[in-house]
Copies of this chain bind each other. A is one copy, B any other.
């Protein structure tokens, strides 16, 4: 393909993207999804890669089909995950980086994106409340949590980098029973073992109980194991709960434990003067995971691991000093070659889209976004309380609104195993119906000892009170025969 034909293709595709994705992003008359069963969708997409390439027209048609059958996560009625909506500045930044195709490891290859990352990390650190610090953007909150776990381990015993864990006492870490599943994945991946994550009981709002943490630390000590890390959560995945960071920090200080805060979801509340109290005490953490791709709409992926230490711990822990990449005899200040702080080699410039968005909206614009989402969540909660058949799971502090819908046939049933068994089946049926209709998407799960309930997540600035009302109306409509 010559470059002229290539440019034409890109132009034609951009037109399709503008018309079919960007311009439809705020249109509630469009479907959120165009459901097809896997086997059927395979046929439609003609997935097979052949010896000979397809025609120009076929490629453009494939682009249209890919868009058509993909879930519209930008849609105002996509409430299914901890991300949603569209930010136009971030989107522009993402197009730029895809076109430039950079990899962020050395200043020589990625001058702009390295400086931007440094500036963004510095600003995020300011909002955490540290005087100084370090950090790195990486592929997801799960990976941020791994980074932190390994860093805490390195701080605990630097020799592990070279010697490994063999022959060492059993390392133990603590996280609430409401923490993200990545804690288990990380413990397994890092050779610590999932059984050495001690899960701490939570209270009636899903928050870690500090006294229980204290007990578990003492238990670990008595067993002769080596406690090294507490992972608190600021904004749990299902309930949106915030652990009491200040009290947890007291315990960490007392026992000499690293405090990591998984604020992947809740971190964005730091931007809001009204809501940052949710993370009171976060400045006492040793590390923080914070994903601007969730509440702040920076686009997947945009995830930072931030570290209070400013003595080069991140680099000491992670460096491998590859001579072919991190030459020390370069003609510029090689302290800008920050790639050796990473577990990756090639790395995407994820800070840039957040930076451009922040430049454009200003801190006050980001703050309004958070305040608006939380105000809408509050509106939804009040509406739920007013409506028959809807029942809140708990009074939310954040953007997760968890509730049951009790359909007409169950409303007069006695409380008992049969009731709960039947209620458990309600959410999956409603979910199936909404997907097949394409009217909206929200998630459900069994959790916290409770049968299937809905988790509604409010994020997108394209969402209005009308969408909240629609959500409740639509559930009633879809479940009227249940």
Give the docked Cα–Cα distance between A347 and B17 (Å).
Answer: 21
User: Which of B3, B70, B98, B327 is within 8 Å of A462, CB to CB?
Assistant: B3
Contact A146 B110 (CB under 8 A): no
Contact A98 B299 (CB under 8 A): yes
Give the docked Cα–Cα distance between A142 and B445 (Å).
Answer: 34
* A373 CB–B CB distance under 8 Å: no
Give the docked Cα–Cα distance between A6 and B26 (Å).
Answer: 11
Give the docked Cα–Cα distance between A115 and B45 (Å).
Answer: 9
**What distance in Å separates the Cβ of A470 from its nearest Cβ neighbour in chain B?**
18
With A38-B336, A344-B139, A344-B140 as known contacts, state yes or no: A96 contacts B81, CB within 8 Å: no
- Contact stretch, chosen from A163-171, A206-214, A386-394: A163-171
Contact A165 B162 (CB under 8 A): no
Q: Which residue of B lies closest to A8 (CB)?
A: B88
Give the docked Cα–Cα distance between A26 and B94 (Å).
Answer: 22
* A80 CB–B CB distance under 8 Å: yes
Contact A7 B23 (CB under 8 A): yes
Number of copies: 2
User: Which of B100, B119, B345, B365 is within 8 Å of A142, CB to CB?
Assistant: B345
Binary per-residue interface labels of chain A (349-368) against chain B in the complex, 1 for a CB within 8 Å, 0 otherwise? 00010011011111111000
- Contact stretch, chosen from A180-188, A376-384, A404-412: A180-188
Interface residues of A in 90-144 (CB under 8 A from B): 91-96, 98-103, 107-113, 115-116, 119-120, 123, 139-143
Note all chain B residues with C-beta closer than 8 A to A10: 18, 22, 88, 91-92, 95
Contact A181 B47 (CB under 8 A): no
**What distance in Å separates the Cβ of A260 from its nearest Cβ neighbour in chain B?**
16
* A161 CB–B CB distance under 8 Å: yes
Interface residues of A in 28-66 (CB under 8 A from B): 33, 36-38, 41-42, 45, 47-54, 58-59, 62-63, 66
- Contact stretch, chosen from A192-200, A227-235, A241-249, A279-287: A192-200
Contact A324 B83 (CB under 8 A): no
Note all chain B residues with C-beta closer than 8 A to A293: 346
With A49-B363, A428-B329 as known contacts, state yes or no: A70 contacts B102, CB within 8 Å: yes
* A256 CB–B CB distance under 8 Å: no
- In this complex, which of A21, A299, A452 has the most chain B Cβ atoms within 10 angstroms of its Cβ? A21
Note all chain B residues with C-beta closer than 8 A to A38: 107, 111, 115, 332-333, 336
With A320-B181, A455-B324 as known contacts, state yes or no: A18 contacts B9, CB within 8 Å: no
Note all chain B residues with C-beta closer than 8 A to A22: 6-7, 10, 99
Contact A432 B331 (CB under 8 A): yes
With A91-B10, A363-B51 as known contacts, state yes or no: A187 contacts B164, CB within 8 Å: yes
User: Which of B180, B320, B355 is within 8 Å of A49, CB to CB?
Assistant: B355
User: Which of B49, B119, B168 is within 8 Å of A48, CB to CB?
Assistant: B119
Q: Which residue of B lies closest to A23 (CB)?
A: B7
* A86 CB–B CB distance under 8 Å: yes
Binary per-residue interface labels of chain A (173-191) against chain B in the complex, 1 for a CB within 8 Å, 0 otherwise? 0000000111011011111
Note all chain B residues with C-beta closer than 8 A to A89: 9, 59
Give the docked Cα–Cα distance between A24 and B28 (Å).
Answer: 39
Note all chain B residues with C-beta closer than 8 A to A180: 345
